[in-house]
Amino acid sequence: MSGLIQGNYMEIDGSLPNIVIDVRSLTKKYGDFVAVNNVSFRVRKGEVFGFIGHNGAGKTTTVNMLTTLLQPTSGIAKVAGFEIVKEYMEVKKRIGYLPENLQLYESMTAYENLAYLGKLSGIVNPDARILEVLTFLDATGYKDKKIGECSKGMRQKIGIAQAILHKPEVLFLDEPTSGLDPQGVKQLRDSVLKLNEQTGMTIFVNTHLLSEVTRMCTSLGVLSHGHLIYVDSLAKTLERFKNEESLEEIYLSIEHGGEANAK
């Protein structure tokens, strides 16, 4: 089952093996406010999953739960085969995470930051791995540059580097293109695609830039006011909405339909 959500459970190609993110009825409440409401979906290994929605839709709250930073009020989710609450330490070992505003030590070089963060991730001798990752990301030129002297685009590359140092199975990116100029957006997109194509890493991207979804993602979910209202492959989405001229029109059509169904 795929497409517009009618019930309380959705999945992407759920009949296929290698599901690495399995979310069932995930809910987060703050008092009477429901930030994420009964969200269910699955993501298969090797996907680049775009999680899109308006500001305040609940995207970051969902990612914070999936990365074990926030406990759900109810529901269950597994990432890389482990439950996010009961087995959170196992989940943490298998995921990488780049928040929207990664805090790095300004007075330290990129290499020094990565060495420190690598040791925190349990990498005993991170030197060789740091060089390997920086080379992969075409970022060796930043190695000896202090973070305080780096542009936003440089910081994002270093951010991706720290997130993949320990070779995670799943990489979570929260609004990774925020604050980047067009060149920085392209460089980040190229890095994500290279990671996915050459390592097979599953990547979960929170974004509100619809143009980037078509260039970067293989599947997508649409969140509106805490409700997951749509999930499907990008190819099937573009096929289903043939009369829409842009992904923005598709998104607005989906969101309008989702809000109508919610009522």
pLDDT tens, the chain, 263 aa long: 344 443 333 444 444 468 999 999 999 999 999 999 999 999 999 999 999 998 899 999 999 999 999 999 999 999 999 999 999 999 999 999 999 888 899 999 999 999 999 988 888 888 999 999 999 999 999 899 999 999 888 899 999 999 999 999 999 999 998 888 888 889 889 999 999 999 999 999 998 878 888 899 999 999 999 999 999 999 999 888 877 767 778 888 887 764 444 44
φ, ψ (nearest 5 deg) of residue 214: -70, -30
Residue holding tokens 């009369």? 243
Residues forming beta bridges with residue 49, ordered by sequence position:
204, 219
Domain at 3-94+168-262: CATH code = 3.40.50.300
Every domain of the chain and the residues it spans: 3-94+168-262
The torsion of the CA quartet 4, 76, 175, 59, rounded to 10 degrees, works out to: 50
What pLDDT, on a 0 to 100 scale, did the predictor assign at position 243? 73
Instruction: Give the pLDDT of residue 259.
Output: 46
Residue 120's pLDDT is: 86
Calculate Rg over the CA atoms of the chain. Answer: 18
Q: What is the pLDDT of residue 7?
A: 36
